[in-house]
Amino acid sequence: MNPRLPAFASGLLTSAFVLMLSMSLPLGAEELQTQENNVNVTPESMAFVAQNSNESIENRVQALNFISQHPNQNSLVAAARGLKDENAMIREAAIGAVAPYPLAHRYRMVSPLLAAEESSVRSAAIIHLLKDFEQLQMGQQANVRAQADELITQLIDDQSYTQQLLLADIYRWTFRYQSAQAIYENLLTYDQKSVALFLSFSHNYYAQGKNQETLDILEKGIQFDNEDATLHYAKALALVRLQQKEVAAESMKIATELAPDNAYYWYLNGVLQEPLEIEQSIKSFEKAYLISGSPENLYAMCDIYIRNAHQNTEQCITALAEIAPQEVVDGLRQQQGQ
């Protein structure tokens, strides 16, 4: 559910250099300290904990959960080893830890667990791959769908909210939108509801190109919980598709206020604010980089600086030149000279 971004942004997110850098450089998040042992919590230290057989299973699972939010080469190695661990809990956590990496690699690493002895591991592997079902190759889709159909037979008679929501999501992931919609609509009548229901229902409409219905169900979700940043973020994207970009910018701003540590929200806020309020846009790109320290957000910040003759342009390009390929820097220099 990505908005239509300016050319520089869409090119940035797909460029090879960004993938290379994000896989090899540590992110710029603040280092924390555990209250228990006063050890610095960094992606590198947690990657070590995840692989350390002398650590408790609980600690290793927590470490894998942590590195799922901090992709780099060490995290990838730890996750890959976790997928082969003899403990089922470690393997399940490792499935989540590989989420940030390219699908082709993830399929190769996770698909062997579709045949795991433990049903919990099999289910985790199926659900992980189903979320990217549309992007799988035909043979891979056939394999995953066969596994999904087995899971459906286990879920179909379970009327609990959680399992019915999972069932609807499986239908949605495998393009059975009408079956999914019937369950989502029924779940709206349950006393027990969650933000996930409204988000999943909106995805189901979006997949069918029903943008107004997508917005309508997100509005209902916000009525259910107006403090959830994800709903406001999703609403902003829906509004962009409906060409209501000024209103979308308002929703995106709310999302950043509710989730001030989400760098991606600040990045999108910068994109949406640019044609409306350039100073707010620049501050948003700066905030995104301040939070993440990521190369792609540094590039975005340099780009907005150049296009607005900002006083910090040279400083930004100099910082980028330390980590980016020369052709990337040269491209910005050419833009600077125009």
How do the domains of the chain map onto residue ranges? Answer: 266-331
CB 231 within 8 A of CB 199: yes
What local confidence, expressed as pLDDT, does residue 260 receive?
95
**Pick from 136, 113, 137, 138: which is nearest to 126 by CA?**
113
Euclidean distance between CA atoms 271 and 255, whole angstroms: 14
pLDDT at residue 74, rounded to an integer = 92
Contact status, residue 141 vs residue 156, Cβ threshold 8 Å: no
What is the reported pLDDT for 189? 96
pLDDT > 80? residue 14: no
Rounded CA-CA distance 274/299 in Å is: 16
Q: What is the pLDDT of residues 203-223, one digit of tens each?
A: 999 999 999 999 999 999 999
- pLDDT on residue 27: 35
Average the pLDDT over 214-235 and give the result.
98
Q: What is the mean pLDDT of residues 241-261?
A: 97
Q: What is the DSSP letter of 277?
A: -
Highest mean pLDDT among 4-8, 36-40, 273-277: 273-277
- Collect all residues with Cβ–Cβ distance below 8 Å to 189 and sequence separation of at least 6: none
User: For residue 248, is pLDDT > 70?
Assistant: yes
- How far apart are alpha carbons 34 and 28 in whole angstroms? 18
What pLDDT was estimated at residue 70? 87
The single-letter code of the amino acid at 53 is S
Q: What is the pTM of this model?
A: 0.81
pLDDT tens by residue, 130-161: 999 999 999 999 999 999 999 999 999 999 99
Looking at per-residue pLDDT, the higher value among 264 and 38 belongs to 264
pLDDT band at 196 (very low <50, low <70, confident <90, very high): very high
Mean pLDDT estimate for the chain? 88
**Looking at residue 71, what is its pLDDT?**
87
pLDDT band, very low/low/confident/very high, at 335 (cuts 50, 70, 90)? confident
Q: What is the pLDDT of residue 53?
A: 93
Q: Which helix (H) or strand (E) holds 40?
A: strand 40-41
Residue 59's Cβ-count burial label (10 Å; 0-12, 13-18, 19+) is middle
| Residue % of the chain over a pLDDT of 70 | 88
198 compared with 43, residue with greater pLDDT = 198
Q: What 3-state class would DSSP assign to 53?
A: coil
pLDDT tens column, 164-191: 999 999 999 999 999 999 999 999 999 9
pLDDT tens digits for range 46-84: 999 999 999 999 999 999 999 998 888 999 999 999 999
pLDDT score for 265? 96
Rg of the chain on CA atoms, in Å: 22
Indicate if the pLDDT at residue 37 is higher than 80: no
Q: What is residue 39's predicted lDDT score, i.e. its pLDDT?
A: 54
pLDDT interval class at 16 (50, 70, 90): very low
The contacts of residue 161 (CB under 8 Å, 6+ apart) are: 187, 190, 192, 193, 194
The answer, yes or no, to whether residue 229 has pLDDT greater than 60, is: yes
